[in-house]
Structure 1
Amino acid sequence: MCGIIALLLSNPDILASVELFEGLQILQHRGQDAAGIVTCGHKGRLYQCKGNGMVRDVFDQENLQNLIGSLGIGHVRYPTAGTSSNSEAQPFYVNSPYGIVLAHVCKELDKNGNLVNAEELKNSLDVKAHRHINTDSDSELLLNTFADNLQQTGKFRIYEEDIFTAIKGLYEQCTGGYACVAIIAGFGIIGFRDPHGIRPICYGTRLNHEGFDFMFASESVVLDALGFTDIRDINPGEAVIVTKQAITKRILVNWGELTPCIFEYVYFARPDSVIDGISVYRSRLEMGEHLADQVVKKCGKNLDIDVVIPVPDTSRVAALQVSHKLKIAYREGFIKNRYVGRTFIMPGQQMRRKSVRRKLNAMALEFVDKNVLIVDDSIVRGTTSKEIVQMARDAGAKKVYFASCAPPIRYPNVYGIDMPSRRELVAFGLDDDSIAKEIGADMVIYQDLNDLVTSCQKFNPNIAAFDCSVFNGHYVTGGVTNEYLDRLERSRSDLAKSSRENLHSPDTIGLHNFRYTSSQASLERNGRNGVKGVNGSLQY
């Protein structure tokens, strides 16, 4: 899913990199595969550090001090269906026109498919604008589309009106779900969101002695933690431009309703975030309330459940509410190793199975001779669920019921979530009893889709609809054909992922660490095995 952040400080003598680093750590749950920061210093010079790994692994005190400037943007990438090449770590930049850097909440042109018309855009940029796309990232595609639109103004100096015009053109050209932050060297920072508001982004201000600091972030929890107030979501089709002198915002297109991705509330977002006016925590409590009703409906009033156990961490809030409503004891039966990443997006069934065992450990005293209701946020491939059920049985459970806070996932996501192909989804073509048999449970209980929508809508009735495409196959942007889904699924299969990982392995690439000097359009090789990825200054 990825996380983005942008910061502009009112005091030009303070480094933005320190708080960008802190913000990325808060957003670490949105991506553990790679991290990057680009800052802008004196006379528009850009400085960058990015590479594969967790935020704490990519950055240290020395390279944070070398990221000069009081404004910058950052990005964390989650393990995707594409490669783990350093070349695809964000933010991306182009030196023409002006020097532009962009970070985007999700990536992978053919893999995540968050831009539905990616191939068409790529061909157009290559042929008409002579802009070669070097990676499989939608972020690079968005960046070059934005840059090409700006270049068409033909102006030596840029103005807010030119930026708004360029972003409006991007909205008209790019079909899909995205939220972006950008730097224009020597000018300021920009945030914008797709016309349907599928992906989240918010902003806030912080008053100090020198004036106001300004921040964009994927989730409000970052702004809260760093002392920003007056937090607002960017509206669908809106762009916000922030310079040292002013904040300017404008809704550039108004094509339809706000339709945020409902999976943010189910799984991705931190519970202490508020997205589009909806508390993630309160929505998950409500999901537990409705899920308890589904348990009673499926099992009958004479429940033979002894204990409710969550799969940590995302389902914990809902499981508490299930326990409360059913008046059944709540227990922490699984202990989580927090240093293993999310499993459903890991490549290969065997790796996912091993990761579950390394990530969770069952405490036998909470399972032995008991009928347990395990609550999880969702069931995707079923690999994780199957391992969890088996762990419960190995720990001595008599019966294992498995409840999902989300409805059956039967369709791929095309707006940035790296879900597998339809045929790799355990719910594809199966009823509840068959799914229970597949994962080894005595019963599977799913959330009702209408109840899920109600759980979120209750806290912001102004949102008429959500993107629920993974559950119902309705893609809010349109343009998602069977041919597109077939191509997407071919690239998302485990075999395709494995082939790409081999193709982009370090031994194949032979180049990990280099410094850009963009004005000379050159790459200076610093070594074959640099552990920090792409580091250095970008000079304009």
Structure 2
Amino acid sequence: MFDEIEKELRHECGVFGIFARGRDDIDVARTAFYGLYALQHRGQESAGIAVSDGRGIKLLKGMGLVTEVIRSENIKDLDGYMAIGHVRYSTTGASIAVNAQPLVFHYLNGMVALAHNGNLVNAEELRKRLATYGSVFQTTTDTEVVANLLARYSQDKLEDALAKCMIDMKGAYALLIMTEDKLIGVRDPLGIRPLCLGSLDDAYVLASESAALDTVGATFIRDVEPGEIVVIDDKGLRSLKASNLPYRAHCVFEYIYFARPDSTLDGINVYKARRELGRQLARENLIAADLVISVPDSGTASALGYADEAGLPFEEGLMKNRYVGRTFIQPTQQMRELGVKLKLNAIEEVVKGKRIIMIDDSIVRGTTSKKIIQMLRDAGAVEIHMLIASPPTRFPCFYGIDTSRREELIANKMDKEAIREFIGADSLYYISMEGMFAALKRDDKFFCTACFSGDYPVKI
């Protein structure tokens, strides 16, 4: 299967927006292009940009990577002073062109473009309710549910309508909404999905991660608060707090795997967090070995932290082929055993005759780990100890991460020893929940850890 050559966890999407009224020197469409390019890791199925010139909204979107969808010859007509963009993986709605975002629609007060990162757990319920009121749906995404909700409250000011929508919507969302003359960012009441605010001189930028701000030369101002609506227009920036819960549920997998290492989310630098996870893993599980390697790239920072704490050398034992994209042709049945080798290859001169500690961020189904370990044995490694910089993933995510069904999660079906035997490692260790919180320097009231604990912060 195709997913044999992919990471077993997939994020849904990333969003980027810019408001640059009066800044003729800023090409907002190209700025959005670079912002999305910086967020490409968050979604590789489709991409799109919508631009407003104050009179109407133009849209360019399609299936594929940012560079495949948005090219010099088709971006030149996207003139305006604000833009929103989106890169997508599908968790709600099929991976087809009609579901690509941003969605652009007409309602009582004009045109609106909408981009969404996350997942509404009550999307189907809302869709049925809206359909009874006469709503017509052209896509299968929960983003269109948000659009129809917004239209239902169109008699109100847009920010007030969004506040009403937030009462109805349950789940995880970071939303960018653009009218002909206004840019709005919305974050769910628990802050499950990330969203931050930056400035580009006197222009404003909104993005899923701070790394996208860095890419376009913007200065980080702050994270959008959970439950906050940020409105940017000719009057400047203003904020409405639609919800103010006493606790948070930031997705812990943003820090473990999804976000770029150079991003800082809600006060935590991702690279430092991963490095500290590796250090804590060594404190909990110190193993006699010759060297430490990682499963690149998300395991690398944790492997460096482990090596530092354990006093062992870190080596690149696995080389990643970064030119095998997510849109690579599906392997035939005969190619399945070669699947992982398309993406990773063991460096025999590094691992042969060595006792190896291999660090990865997670084990989901276990099939990829099994193939990598066999690859290392074929290259001559004499011992392979696998250490995981997160607790066992036992429960599926319903908030915008495409995990397997619960019955497919290996840690739900097997204990640690059975998993070790299945993947073929000499030993297997996970970081503890307490150790993870200690490494991230926050407690359990800061994170959503439902994939480990089954404690879902929003009722499913």
Which category describes the TM-score, using the shorter chain as reference length?
A: over 0.9
Which of 247, 250, 253 is matched with 2:237 structurally?
247
Report what 1:132 is aligned to: 136
AA paired with 1:125?
A: L
Task: Tell me the CA shift for residue 428 of structure 1.
Answer: 1.0
Task: Tell me the CA shift for residue 339 of structure 1.
Answer: 2.5
Q: Distance in 2 between matches of 1:50 and 1:350?
A: 35
AA paired with 1:404?
A: I
Matched, 1:443 2:427: yes
Sort the Cα spacing of 1:73 and 1:477 in 2 relative to 1 into closer, same or farther, 3 A: same
Report what 1:164 is aligned to: 159
TM-score normalised by L of structure 2 = 0.92
Matched, 1:192 2:186: yes
Provide the secondary structure at the position in 2 that maps to 1:415: coil
Report what 2:297 is aligned to: 313
- Contact 2:91–2:400, Cα closer than 8 Å, also in 1: no
Gaps of 5+ in 2: 1-10
Structure 1 residues 397-436: aligned runs within 5 Å: 397-436=381-420
Report what 1:17 is aligned to: 29
Sort the Cα spacing of 1:256 and 1:477 in 2 relative to 1 into closer, same or farther, 3 A: farther
Which of 344, 348, 363 is matched with 1:364 structurally?
348
Deviation digits for residues 416-439 of structure 1, max 9, x if unmatched?
A: 000000111111131111001111
Q: Distance in 2 between matches of 1:255 and 1:42?
A: 36
Q: Distance in 1 between matches of 2:332 and 2:187?
A: 33
Q: Distance in 1 between matches of 2:336 and 2:458?
A: 32
Which of 428, 450, 454 is matched with 1:469 structurally?
450
TM-score normalised by L of structure 1 = 0.79
Q: Distance in 2 between matches of 1:350 and 1:386?
A: 18
Deviation digits for residues 359-417 of structure 1, max 9, x if unmatched?
A: 11111111111111111111111111111111111111111111111110000000000
Task: Tell me the CA shift for residue 165 of structure 1.
Answer: 1.6
Sort the Cα spacing of 1:144 and 1:62 in 2 relative to 1 into closer, same or farther, 3 A: same
Q: Distance in 1 between matches of 2:363 and 2:130?
A: 39
Q: Distance in 1 between matches of 2:368 and 2:326?
A: 10
Task: Name which of structure 1's ranges 333-342 and 253-262 shifts more when overlaid on structure 2.
Answer: 333-342
Provide the secondary structure at the position in 1 that maps to 2:413: coil
Sort the Cα spacing of 1:93 and 1:63 in 2 relative to 1 into closer, same or farther, 3 A: same
Q: Distance in 1 between matches of 2:336 and 2:107?
A: 42
Q: Distance in 1 between matches of 2:368 and 2:408?
A: 13
Provide the secondary structure at the position in 1 that maps to 2:448: coil
Task: Tell me the CA shift for residue 355 of structure 1.
Answer: 4.0
Task: Provide the aligned length of Structure 1 versus Structure 2.
Answer: 445
- Contact 1:91–1:103, Cα closer than 8 Å, also in 2: yes
- Contact 1:195–1:256, Cα closer than 8 Å, also in 2: no
Report what 2:121 is aligned to: 116
Which of 59, 70, 73 is matched with 2:70 structurally?
59
Task: Tell me the CA shift for residue 147 of structure 1.
Answer: 2.5
Matched, 1:152 2:152: no
Task: Tell me the CA shift for residue 350 of structure 1.
Answer: 9.1
Task: Name which of structure 1's ranges 168-177 and 449-458 shifts more when overlaid on structure 2.
Answer: 449-458
AA paired with 1:179?
A: A
AA paired with 2:447?
A: F
Task: Name which of structure 1's ranges 242-251 and 403-412 shifts more when overlaid on structure 2.
Answer: 242-251
Q: Distance in 1 between matches of 2:331 and 2:99?
A: 17
Matched, 1:174 2:169: yes
Gaps of 5+ in 1: 107-113, 154-161, 481-540
Sort the Cα spacing of 1:204 and 1:238 in 2 relative to 1 into closer, same or farther, 3 A: same
Report what 1:529 is aligned to: none
Task: Tell me the CA shift for residue 443 of structure 1.
Answer: 1.3
Provide the secondary structure at the position in 1 that maps to 2:175: strand
Report what 1:26 is aligned to: 38
Provide the secondary structure at the position in 2 that maps to 1:47: strand
Provide the secondary structure at the position in 2 that maps to 1:99: strand
Task: Tell me the CA shift for residue 46 of structure 1.
Answer: 1.1
Deviation digits for residues 92-120 of structure 1, max 9, x if unmatched?
A: 122113211110113xxxxxxx2111111
Matched, 1:94 2:124: no
Q: Distance in 2 between matches of 1:475 and 1:364?
A: 43
Report what 1:484 is aligned to: none
Report what 1:217 is aligned to: 207
Sort the Cα spacing of 1:196 and 1:439 in 2 relative to 1 into closer, same or farther, 3 A: same
Q: Distance in 2 between matches of 1:449 and 1:439?
A: 22
Which of 116, 120, 127 is matched with 1:104 structurally?
116
Provide the secondary structure at the position in 2 that maps to 1:329: coil
Task: Tell me the CA shift for residue 83 of structure 1.
Answer: 2.7
Report what 1:279 is aligned to: 269
- Contact 1:352–1:383, Cα closer than 8 Å, also in 2: no
Q: Distance in 2 between matches of 1:19 and 1:444?
A: 45
Task: Tell me the CA shift for residue 465 of structure 1.
Answer: 2.6
Which of 48, 54, 78 is matched with 1:36 structurally?
48
Report what 2:200 is aligned to: 206
Task: Tell me the CA shift for residue 351 of structure 1.
Answer: 8.3
Sort the Cα spacing of 1:175 and 1:351 in 2 relative to 1 into closer, same or farther, 3 A: farther
Provide the secondary structure at the position in 1 that maps to 2:422: helix
Q: Which has the higher strand share?
A: 2
- Contact 1:453–1:466, Cα closer than 8 Å, also in 2: no
Task: Tell me the CA shift for residue 352 of structure 1.
Answer: 7.7
Q: Percent identity?
A: 40
AA paired with 2:167?
A: E
